[in-house]
């Protein structure tokens, strides 16, 4: 692999195809070492340089379906058109007596290319309950050097000669394999394109390429599962609903869907989080869609009543959160009871309910209108602020408890690791295996350099988590490499990588999670440590790195 101390940031121009993985020219000979490396390196450059910037190319993929295990050189995804398997053929090919030979040995190159794309289509059918129709997939054999021809290649064989490659006709030949059928453009939608492309990116160890797509000029929202829609209907009908589910089962997605559903018909919604970072992130990412108030529990007195909370101190002069929350609960009960009915809420959603004590939860009823709905969302294994938390069902007569069981966030390998910490057992969401969690002993900055500057992963895809503030303070910027960290969630973007504590990041997620100083845990009982590990490691969608000190 590339030396992390010498590599330069990945350069990519706006008019080039998106390559997965995205190698620089000076990396190609080091990274591509297969027997056909000469042809593959040349074709890699040509595909990158000749194809449009909204096309995606996946290099060196292994696919198993229908009892076949095949290797493809390049899978080319053309939005709105389909997918083409493109094989590179270098030196030593000869055609004679209606057969192909490589260095004197029979080599049926067109059958191989055709078989590979059919196997790809079978894989899509098995994993997505759909398949590409005829005309939305194809194959192309590209000769990097002129083969020796003792006869005429059959006209139905999809191939491209070196001169045609040099003339910049790759797009023309690829589109020729797909045809041009308007009905297929409706079939191969942007959503299907993104879903299948992201699946293969993660399957082969890359990050999915996140990009916006529009349907009728409106950004699509996450679709709910059948079970989530059932629970949404229960929230519409019941006065009290308690939704439980492990990390990544879609509790926050469902809660936001409930908020939007009620707001769409003109009802007032209050969405309460325990974690300040989660409430701020939801407020930033949620456009104005009706009367939805998203707030951190501790800021309710200020936001609704324009009151300042008198903070309590313990004997050592530190903040006494138990007493402070008691005061906040009392303020909400007192002033909430005095609110006019029109100022109260038709729906109250309480996310991270396991981090609130009984008094905190009960106080929120004083903000509800008559016949309002109240829905609680919790996961007892993520209870890292309330030791031994149990939901107080007796306080909510007739409450309906609904459970989410399917993990929709993590790859199977990450899910397999975190499930060992959890009392709230979940099942994989039929996702994909993905990379196994990895230990590393270089510095966090060196790993970030490799991910960002060598692999080309965006800073906004990476979050560094620490179990305490001491480990956080030891992670420094390295401006020579363009590596900058921020502890401000609002400053987490394509230029700055977030570094924060596990407790502050609770409720959020990232494509790549790096756990700094993973062996340095706070002095807690084993059950509490497992809750903390579970919260930390379940934040990772596609990759999880655990920093272990050198021994």
For the stretch 28-41, pLDDT in tens is 888 888 777 888 99
pLDDT tier at 317 (50, 70, 90 boundaries)? confident
* Two tokens, residue 67: 């009892």
Please give the pLDDT value at position 14.
Answer: 46
Residue 384 CB partners (closer than 8 Å, separation 6+): 355, 503, 506, 528, 531, 532, 535
Please give the pLDDT value at position 180.
Answer: 58
How would you class 215 by CB atoms within 10 Å of its CB: exposed for 0-12, middle for 13-18, buried for 19 or more? Answer: exposed
- State how far the Cα of 433 lies from the Cα of 153, in Å rounded to an integer: 41
pLDDT tier at 147 (50, 70, 90 boundaries)? confident
* Two tokens, residue 327: 């005061």
pLDDT tens-digit profile of 326-355?
Answer: 999 999 999 999 999 999 999 999 999 999
pLDDT tier at 130 (50, 70, 90 boundaries)? low
Domains of the chain: 18-215 (no CATH), 226-404 (3.40.50.300), 431-547 (3.40.50.300)
- State how far the Cα of 431 lies from the Cα of 435, in Å rounded to an integer: 12
* Two tokens, residue 355: 């981090």
Residue 102 CB partners (closer than 8 Å, separation 6+): 92, 93, 94, 109
131-156: average pLDDT = 78
Parallel, antiparallel, or unpaired: how do β-strands 56-65 and 68-78 relate? antiparallel
The residue assigned the tokens 């190609």 is 28
First-residue to last-residue Cα distance in the chain:
24
Name the residue among 83, 63, 81, 80 with its Cα closest to residue 72. 63
DSSP 450: I
pLDDT tens-digit profile of 386-429?
Answer: 777 888 888 899 999 999 999 888 888 899 899 888 766 777 76
Average pLDDT, the chain: 84
Name the residue among 4, 26, 14 with its Cα closest to residue 481. 4
Contact between residue 146 and residue 161 where contact means Cβ atoms under 8 Å apart: yes
pLDDT tens-digit profile of 153-169?
Answer: 765 678 888 889 999 99
Please give the pLDDT value at position 183.
Answer: 56
pLDDT tens-digit profile of 238-282?
Answer: 999 999 999 999 999 999 999 999 999 999 999 999 999 999 888
- State how far the Cα of 377 lies from the Cα of 105, in Å rounded to an integer: 64
Please give the pLDDT value at position 448.
Answer: 92
* Two tokens, residue 421: 């910490």
pLDDT tier at 372 (50, 70, 90 boundaries)? very high
Handedness of CA 505, 507, 513, 517 (dihedral sign): positive
The DSSP secondary structure of 350-396, one letter per residue, reads ETTGGGS-HHHHHHGGGGEEEEEEEEEEE-GGG-SSSTT----GGGS
3-state SS, 63-108, equals: EEECCEEEEEEEEEEECCCEEEEEEEECCCEEEECCEEEECCEECC
Percent of the chain whose pLDDT exceeds 90:
40
pLDDT tier at 4 (50, 70, 90 boundaries)? very low
Contact between residue 490 and residue 43 where contact means Cβ atoms under 8 Å apart: no
Residue 333 CB partners (closer than 8 Å, separation 6+): 362, 363, 366
Parallel, antiparallel, or unpaired: how do β-strands 218-219 and 214-215 relate? antiparallel
* Two tokens, residue 504: 């502050």
131-149: average pLDDT = 80
């Amino acid at each position: 692999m590339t030396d992390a101390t010498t590599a330069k940031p990945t350069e990519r121009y706006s008019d080039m195809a998106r390559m997965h993985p995205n190698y620089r020219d000076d990396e190609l000979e080091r990274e591509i070492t297969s027997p056909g490396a000469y042809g593959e390196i040349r074709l890699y450059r040509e595909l990158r340089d000749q194809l449009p910037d909204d096309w995606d190319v996946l290099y060196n993929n292994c696919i198993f379906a229908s009892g076949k295990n095949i290797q493809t050189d390049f899978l080319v995804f053309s939005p709105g058109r389909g997918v083409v398997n493109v094989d590179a053929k270098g030196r030593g090919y000869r055609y004679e007596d209606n057969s192909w030979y490589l260095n004197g040995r029979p080599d049926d190159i067109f059958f191989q290319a055709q078989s590979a794309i059919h196997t790809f289509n079978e894989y899509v059918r098995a994993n997505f309950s759909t398949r590409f129709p005829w005309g939305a997939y194809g194959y192309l054999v590209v000769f990097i050097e002129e083969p020796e021809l003792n006869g005429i290649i059959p006209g139905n064989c999809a191939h491209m000669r070196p001169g045609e490659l040099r003339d910049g006709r790759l797009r023309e030949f690829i589109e020729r394999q797909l045809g041009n059928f308007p009905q297929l453009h409706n079939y191969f939608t942007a959503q299907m394109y993104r879903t299948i492309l992201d699946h293969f990116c993660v399957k082969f160890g890359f990050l999915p390429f996140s990009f916006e797509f529009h349907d009728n000029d409106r950004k699509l929202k996450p679709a709910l599962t059948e079970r989530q829609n059932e629970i949404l209907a229960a929230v519409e009908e019941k006065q009290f609903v308690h939704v439980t589910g492990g990390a990544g089962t879609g509790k926050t997605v469902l809660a936001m869907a409930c908020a939007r559903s009620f707001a769409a018909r003109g009802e007032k919604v209050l969405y309460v989080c325990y974690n300040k970072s989660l409430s701020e992130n939801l407020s930033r990412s949620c456009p104005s869609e009706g009367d939805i108030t998203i707030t951190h529990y501790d800021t309710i007195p200020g936001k609704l009543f324009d009151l300042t909370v008198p903070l309590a101190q313990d004997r050592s002069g530190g903040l006494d959160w138990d007493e402070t929350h008691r005061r906040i609960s009392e303020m909400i009960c007192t002033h909430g009871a005095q609110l006019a009915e029109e100022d109260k809420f038709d729906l109250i959603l309480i996310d991270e309910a396991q981090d609130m004590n009984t008094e905190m939860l009960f106080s929120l009823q004083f903000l509800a209108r008559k016949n309002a709905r109240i829905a609680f969302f919790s996961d007892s294994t993520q209870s890292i602020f309330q030791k031994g938390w149990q939901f107080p069902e007796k306080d909510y007569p007739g409450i309906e408890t609904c459970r989410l069981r399917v993990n929709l966030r993590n790859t199977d390998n990450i899910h397999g690791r975190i499930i060992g910490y959890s009392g709230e057992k979940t099942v994989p969401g039929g996702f994909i295996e993905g990379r196994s969690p990895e230990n590393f002993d270089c510095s966090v900055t060196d790993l970030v350099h490799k991910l960002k500057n060598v692999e080309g992963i965006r800073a906004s895809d990476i979050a560094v988590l620490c179990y305490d503030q001491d480990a956080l303070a030891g992670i420094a910027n390295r401006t020579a490499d363009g590596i900058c960290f921020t502890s401000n969630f609002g400053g987490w973007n394509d230029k700055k990588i977030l570094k924060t504590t596990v407790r502050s990041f609770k409720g959020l997620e990232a494509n790549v999670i790096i756990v700094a100083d993973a062996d340095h845990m706070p002095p807690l009982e084993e059950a509490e440590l497992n809750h903390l590990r579970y919260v930390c490691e379940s934040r990772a969608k596609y990759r999880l790195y655990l920093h272990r000190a050198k021994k």
